[in-house]
Amino acid sequence: MAFENLIGNEKNKELLKVAVKDHNLVHSYLFTGPEGIGKDLFAKEFAQMILCAGDEKPCHICKSCIEFLGESHPDFMIIKPEDGKTIKIDQVRFMQEKIAEKPVTSEKKVYILSQSETMTREAANSLLKTLEEPPEYAVIILTTSNESKLLTTIKSRCIKIHFTPIPDEKILEYLKQHHLDSEITTNMIKQAGGSLGKLLKMTEEKEQYLGIENLLKQIETQTITQVWSQAEVLYQAKDSIISLLEYMVIVFDQELRKKDNLCYANAITIIEQAKQRILANANYDMTIDDLLLKLWEEMH
C-alpha cells in the first residue's frame, strides 16, 4: 500500500497516489513544509511509485522496485547538499547529464533535490534550464523547509505541495506503536512541533533534555551553588544549546499555564536573552553562569 509507513498529510498521500494512478504527473514538484516532517520520505516513496511497473504501486517486487530498494535504480537519483551545506553547480550538471539519457528500467526518470533551498545561485540558474525544458520522461521533485530562499522563477515552474506538521496525537500513536513512548516527555513532543524527524533525533539526546527538566524542577529548592554544580549538562552542550534553551522555554511555558505565576514569564524572558547573547557569540560559560543565576533569583 502506498505511503503506509508515513504518518500525517493524508490529503497529499491521496493526491500523489491519484496522480500516479491516472498518469497525471507534471515535470516538477516542490514539496514544502517544516523540517523533519517527512518530505524527503514522501518524495522517495512517490518516486518509487512513479517508477514501479506493478499494478498496486509501489509493489516492492517488480524489477524497478527491487532496484529502487537496493539503491541501484538507474533512473533515480537523490541530490543532497554536499558536505551538508550547499547543492553545487557540479551536482546539478551531473544530474543534467544523467537526465538527458533515456530511462533504462522504467518509463520515467525521477530526481529529488533535497533541501533545494541550499542550491548556490549558479546551481539554481542551471537547474532552471532543465525545469524550463525537461525531457518528457523526467520528474523532478524539489524539497525545502525554507521556500523563501528559492528563486521565484524556480517555484513558478513547480506544482507546490504543502506538508503540515504532524498532530501530537498522531505522533503519540506512532511512538506507542514503536515502543518509544516511555523515552519521551510531553515537553519533548511540544518542542518537536509536529516534526517526527526532530523528535526521533531528540530521543538520541534524551539524557540532555531529561537533565535540563530535572535541573529546572529543582531550582526552587536549591542554593545557587547546588544549581551550578548540577548544570554540567548545560555547560557541556555547546553544540545543541539553542535547542536546549528552547526546551527550557517550553518547560517554563507549561508551568506558566498550570500556575499562572509571573516568575515563569520572567524566566522565559531571561532564557530568550541568554539565547540572543549566545547567538551574538558572547562568552559561553559566562552566559550560562549568568542565566542560571538570574533564573535562580527569579525563583527565590
Q: Report the residue from 7, 52, 161, 278 that binds Zn ion according to the rule CB under 5 A.
A: 52
Least distance in Å: CB of 4 to Zn ion?
A: 14
Does position 54 interact with Zn ion (CB under 5 A)? The reply is yes
Least distance in Å: CB of 76 to Zn ion?
A: 12
User: Interacting stretch for Zn ion, rule CB under 5 A, among 63-71, 180-188, 214-222, 238-246?
Assistant: 63-71
Q: Report the residue from 65, 127, 219, 241 that binds Zn ion according to the rule CB under 5 A.
A: 65
d(CA 71, CA 264): 51
Least distance in Å: CB of 53 to Zn ion?
A: 6
35 in Cβ contact with 148 (< 8 Å): no
User: Interacting stretch for Zn ion, rule CB under 5 A, among 14-22, 61-69, 98-106, 109-117?
Assistant: 61-69
Does position 49 interact with Zn ion (CB under 5 A)? The reply is no
Does position 62 interact with Zn ion (CB under 5 A)? The reply is yes
Least distance in Å: CB of 213 to Zn ion?
A: 46
Nearer to Zn ion, 1 or 280 (CB): 1
Q: Report the residue from 59, 78, 159, 293 that binds Zn ion according to the rule CB under 5 A.
A: 59
Using CB under 5 A as the criterion, which residues of the chain lie in contact with Zn ion when the complex forms?
Answer: 52, 54, 59, 62, 65
